[in-house]
A and B are shown apart, each in its own frame.
Chain A
Amino acid sequence: MTQTVLTQAQAQRVSIPSPAIAPAIAVRKTCNPDGVGLSHYVLMDKKGAR
């Protein structure tokens, strides 16, 4: 019987399944700033329901 010798890299591929790599996340959104709220108050801009 012929013996197959794996290189180190091949051995790792065979014996250790690569764990899934989580995708990178990076987001940046932009707009014209108009915030004037502070910790004592937050402006709610939605129209009143009545």
Chain B
Amino acid sequence: MSARSPAGTHPEPTFTPLDIGHPVYAALLDPDSAFWALLDKTRVADTLAGGPLRDVYRQHAEACRRELHALRFELKPSGVYLNPTERCNLNCRYCYLPAAQRRSGGHMSLDRLLASLSRLRDYFRSTMPEGSKPRAIFHGAEPLMNREAVFAAIDAFADDFIFGLQTNGTLLDDGAVSFLTARNVSIGVSLDGPSAEITDATRRTWSSRSVHNRVLAAMDRLRGYESWSVIATCTTENLPHLTAMIELFHAREVPTCMLNTVRCTLPGARTVRPDDAALSRAFFAALDRTYELYRDSGRKLVVANFANILIAIVAPTARRLMCDISPCGAGRAFFALAADGSLYPCSEFIGLPRFNGGHLLADEGIEAALASDAFRAVTGRNVEAFKPCSECAIRHFCGSPCPAEAHEMNGAMGGTGAFCAFYKDQVNYALRLIADGKADDYLWDGWDDGTETLFDLAH
């Protein structure tokens, strides 16, 4: 770790050289501030000895450190993941929610949902700047199993929240799409393969029926809507087909997708956990295909989880996803409300009772949950506190996700999650794209609107 400089003095660089696998460039990183530079490989030794880059570092390092500290430790929640039901009509092999809940659990009543949103609105009004709306994302299990309550809640609180909905897509019929798109609700659906055979390997109904074509039909209904995305969970079952999946998504005009690693929180997920090296090969082939498709068609298909790594490098505070930062966003940037009214740091923890932070509608329910041992166990997970992350140069680009996964796999919060080597590969790939001037081709148009440039050595 680098030593912090006393206030008012210029910090000395503590650069770590990094071979990023580029023919010309190597990286120098200061892990504590997430300051980085790409240099001609022949100049690395000279730069470590002195020169203009050190001056840039001295000028900006403290601002970078302060910014990173604020992002990691000073946020207040501005979003909630709402589980309006425990039930799901699918039995996906890697789900992080217990099967008994998904099969025969209960719905949240409309009255309870409205009371919950009222409490949440009042809380966010007390903590967020005036004029800022919190995010409320209906999440699963499958939220459209409790469709009437969800839609009534969206209309009742239209002025108070920016709504989103993550669904398996099987219940997203014409009426649902019309309702949600008319209200600009951000919609996410899930599909794991370019063909039914591949999707069926991980995502099926309780009676083992295929849902692939139903999800494709939902995607057709969403075509032309800008605020939607598709999540594909990368497992041993679909790894050879990621590039074909990208082609399918692009052909169906999906604006954004995620190629997520399977979260290995519950044992079922670990049965389809891919090897890091194989995952990297398939993932980067898929990313390369998005680039080719963009060059050929002029239309981007952004892979959001990778885009978030790129953004974490160039503009740490502009992250859209809060998994790849330590502590992660769970219990501090957002929290989750289970269908029984209990609060959890993140939906990923809902199957783990020890992370129940108490009831939303109890006195001081949210404040008590945020201060609870259950939440502090997650918000206190810090990459500086355990190896190998504390010695890793990219720890603030990766964040060592995910605490639920790490806890269940390692028996404690210390220790990496399931895909340490894959994250390192992603950071190297991202730095190579920056070196080649291609980064913007992998990001949303206008991704940096509203940002300010602290420094840009090329200008």
A39 and B135 within 8 A (CB): no
* Number of B residues with CB within 8 Å of any CB on chain A: 83
Please judge, given known A-B contacts A28-B60, A28-B64, A29-B453, whether A48 and B181 are in contact too, CB under 8 Å: yes
Residues 7-36 of A, flagged 1 when their CB comes within 8 A of B and 0 if not, give 000000000000101111111111111111
Residues of B with Cβ closer than 8 Å to A?
24-25, 35-40, 42-43, 47, 52-53, 56, 60, 64, 67, 70-71, 75, 78-79, 81, 132, 135, 137, 139, 162, 164, 166, 181-182, 184, 186, 188, 224-229, 231, 255-256, 258, 260-261, 263, 304-305, 308, 314-323, 328-330, 333-334, 346-348, 401-402, 434-435, 448, 450-458
- Contact at A23–B334, with CB atoms within 8 Å? no
Q: Is the CB of A28 within 8 A of B35?
A: yes
Which A residues have a C-beta under 8 Å from some C-beta of B? 19, 21-50
User: Total number of A-B contacts with CB less than 8 angstroms?
Assistant: 180
Q: Which 5 A-B pairs have the closest CB atoms?
A: A36-B79, A29-B315, A26-B37, A46-B226, A22-B40
Which secondary structure dominates where chain A touches chain B? loop
CB-based contact B318/A31 at 8 Å:
yes
Given A26-B457, A27-B453, A30-B452, decide whether A43 and B323 contact each other with a Cβ distance below 8 A: no
List chain A residues, Cβ under 8 A from B263.
Answer: 39
Q: Is A39 a contact of B225 with CB atoms below 8 Å?
A: no
| Chain A residues positioned under 8 Å from B321 (CB to CB) | 35, 37-39, 42
19 pairs from A and B in contact (CB 8 Å cutoff):
A24-B43, A24-B457, A25-B435, A25-B457, A26-B36, A26-B37, A29-B314, A30-B451, A33-B319, A35-B333, A37-B320, A38-B329, A38-B346, A39-B261, A39-B321, A39-B323, A41-B231, A42-B304, A43-B320
